Amino acid sequence: MSDDALLARLRDDLGREAVLTDTDVTGSYSRDMMPLAPSGTPLAVVLPRDVAGVQATVRACAEAKVPIVPRGAGSGLSGAANAIDGCVVLVLTKLNEIVEVDAGNRLAVVQPGVVNLDFRNAVEKHGLFYPPDPSSYDWCTIGGNLSTNAGGLCCVKYGVTTDSVLGLEVVLADGSLLHTGRRTVKGVAGYDLARLFVGSEGTLGIITRATVALKPLPQAPATLVAGFTSTAAAGEAVARVVREGLVPSLMEIMDAASIKAAEAYLKTDIGAGSDCQALLLCQSDAGGEVARREMAALEQICNDCGADMAYATDDLAEGNMLLQARRVVLTALELYGSWLTDDVCVPRTRISELIAGCQRISEEVGLRIAVVGHAGDGNMHPTIVYDPTSADEFARAQRAFDAILEVGLSLGGTVTGEHGVGKIKREWLEREIGPVGLRVHQQIKAALDPENLFNPGSMFAMP
C-alpha cells in the first residue's frame, strides 16, 4: 500500500479530522521533553476516538508496513514517543474516559488518554487514592504512565505504576484485542502479561484500557525538612531510615546546587544555611499519633547523623511550602540555561557516592549539575545545565549524562529508575542487561510484533 493509499484508508476508517498531515501541526506531535533524543518526520499523526479506531490504525499500518509510534501528552524524558521518519504517530489523548470507579472493590477502569491529575481527582471523590505521581502529573496521561512504568514522589511507600495495575486491554500487532489480567486483587491464571506490557514503551502493543487497584485515601501529610553540611551525612540518614524500618510516604533529597537554584528562583532563604550541602524532605501520611511518632523518629535520625537544621510541621500549607523548594528545582535551573535531566537508581546505601560522583563530573565537564532525587528509593535525577546555543556545551552535557550513568551502574544501580530507555539509553540498556537479556527482549518483541512496526528502534534494536 502506498503512503497515499494508507492516508486515504485511515481517513475513511477514522474520519478526516482524525488524520493530520500538515507538517506545522504534526511537528508538535513529533517529540517529547528529552532534548538529547533524535526525532523524525512522521507521515501522519492519527488521533482515534475509540479502541476500534486504534485497531483500524494498527491494521492499516500493518498492511502498509508503516511503523507506529504511540504517544500520550508527550511529557516523556527518554524520546520513546519521538517520531521516526515516515511513521504514523498514534495519539491516545482522545481515549480519555474514566470508564468506572468501583469503590466496593477499590479499583477503577480508565482509558489511556486521561490526565493523571484528572484521574486522581476523580477517584478522590470516592475516598480513594491512585498513588503514581510523576512530576508531570498535572499534564501527563495514564497511558504514558503505563508505557513507561512511571514513578514519582509516592514510590517510597506505594511503588511504581505497575504496582497498581490489575489488568489491561491491548491492541496487538495484528489489530486483535488482548484482555489480560483481572478485576480481582489476586490472580495467577497464566503469564503476567499485564506487567510485561507495562513499561514496554509502546514496543509490544497499544494499551487502550487499564484496570487499576486503588488505595484508601491517606491522611494529610506531616512534613520534615533537615539540612546537612555534607552529602555523606544526608546519605547516612537515608540509609538509617531504611535500616530502622521506617517507611515515610515521601523522602526527597536536594544537593547544594539544587538548593541554591531553588533559593534564587523563590527569592528566599529556605533556611538551609550557607554551608548546607544537602536537604532531606520527608513526609508521613499515616495521620495522628503514628505520623507524629514517625516524624519524631525521622528527626532523631537526622540529628544523630549530624543535621544542623531539622524542622517538622503537621500544618499542610506549611508542609506544601517546604516541598515547594523541591518541586521548583527544574524550573529554577532554567535561570542558568537549558537542562538535561538524568535518571539513575542506586541502592539506597550508595546515594551520597552518586552525588559525589556527579560533583566530580560537574568539575570535569565544567557545567553545573544539580542533583535532586527520590532518596527513599535511591532514584536520583542529576540535572545538567548547559547553554543551548553552544554546541560545545551541549556536547559536554551529553558527556556528563553518560558519565553519570557510568557511575550509577558502578554503584550497583540501574540506568533508568523511572523515565525509561526510549531513544537515548539503548546502548546503556544493552550494557545493563547483557547479551542474554537483550536476546530475550528481541525474542519477545519478534514473537508479538513480527514485522517490528510498534515503536521500532526504541528501547533496543532488532538483530
Select 190 or 463, whichever has its Cβ closest to a copy of itself.
190
> 3-state SS of 374-385?
EHHHCEEEEEEE
Q: Give first-to-last CA distance, the chain, whole Å.
A: 26
Site string for a copy of itself, 171-190 (x = CB under 8 A): -x---xxxxx-xxxxxxxxx
CB of 378 to a copy of itself, least distance (A): 5
421 binds a copy of itself (CB under 8 A): yes
C-alpha to C-alpha distance for 368 and 301, rounded to whole angstroms: 30
Q: What whole-number distance in Å separates Cα of residue 437 and Cα of residue 453? A: 21
By CB under 8 A, the residues from 395 to 414 that bind a copy of itself are 412-414
Output Rg (C-alpha) for the chain, integer angstroms.
23
Rank residues 182 and 396 by Cβ distance to a copy of itself and give the closer one: 182
- As measured in angstroms, the least distance from the Cβ of 463 to a copy of itself is 13
Nearer to a copy of itself, 83 or 150 (CB): 150
The single residue among 35, 433, 452, 457 that binds a copy of itself, judged by CB under 8 A, is: 433
The CA dihedral of 446, 449, 453, 459, to the nearest 10 degrees, is -60
- SS3 helix, strand, coil % of the chain, rounded to 5? 40, 20, 40
| Residues between 207 and 246 with contacts to a copy of itself, criterion CB under 8 A | 215-217, 239, 242-246
Question: Which residues ranging from 20 to 49 are in contact with a copy of itself (CB under 8 A)?
Answer: none
Query: x/- binding map, residues 275-314, to a copy of itself, per CB under 8 A?
Result: -----------x--xx------------------------
Toward a copy of itself, which CB reaches closer, 189 or 317? 189
Residues 90, 168, 278, 346: which binds a copy of itself (CB under 8 A)?
346
Under rule CB under 8 A, residue 200 binds a copy of itself: yes
Q: Residues 247, 297, 330, 356: which binds a copy of itself (CB under 8 A)?
A: 247
CB of 278 to a copy of itself, least distance (A): 19
For position 429 contacting a copy of itself by CB under 8 A, the verdict is yes
Q: Are strands 88-91 and 44-46 parallel, antiparallel or unpaired?
A: parallel
Q: Is the CB of 362 or the CB of 416 nearer to a copy of itself?
A: 416
| Whether 280 contacts 260, CB under 8 Å | no
C-alpha cell at 182: 483481572
Q: Which of 334, 314, 121, 326 is nearest to 223 (CA)?
A: 314
Nearer to a copy of itself, 125 or 186 (CB): 186
Q: How far is the CB of 430 from a copy of itself (least distance, A)?
A: 9
Cα–Cα distance for residue pair 162/166, rounded to 1 Å: 8
**Residue 158 vs residues 129, 137, 154: alpha-carbon distances, Å:** 11, 16, 6
> For a copy of itself, which stretch binds (CB under 8 A), given 41-49, 91-99, 322-330, 373-381?
373-381
Q: Using CB under 8 A, which of 2, 191, 269, 274 touches a copy of itself? A: 191
Q: Which is nearer to a copy of itself, 268 or 443 (CB)?
A: 443
- CA-closest candidate to residue 20, choices 1, 53, 56, 47: 47
Give the type of residue at 287: G
195 touches a copy of itself by CB under 8 A: yes
Which residues ranging from 106 to 165 are in contact with a copy of itself (CB under 8 A)?
106, 127-128, 148-149, 151, 155, 160, 162-163
Cell of 438: 537483550
| Segment interacting with a copy of itself, rule: CB under 8 A, options 194-202, 263-271, 277-285, 327-335 | 194-202
Q: In 136-277, where do the E strands start and end?
A: 165-171, 177-181, 206-213, 215-216, 222-228, 250-255
Residue with cell 501529610: 221
CB-nearer residue toward a copy of itself: 227 or 357: 357
- Total residues at the site for a copy of itself (CB under 8 A)? 87
Cα–Cα dist 44/89, whole Å: 6
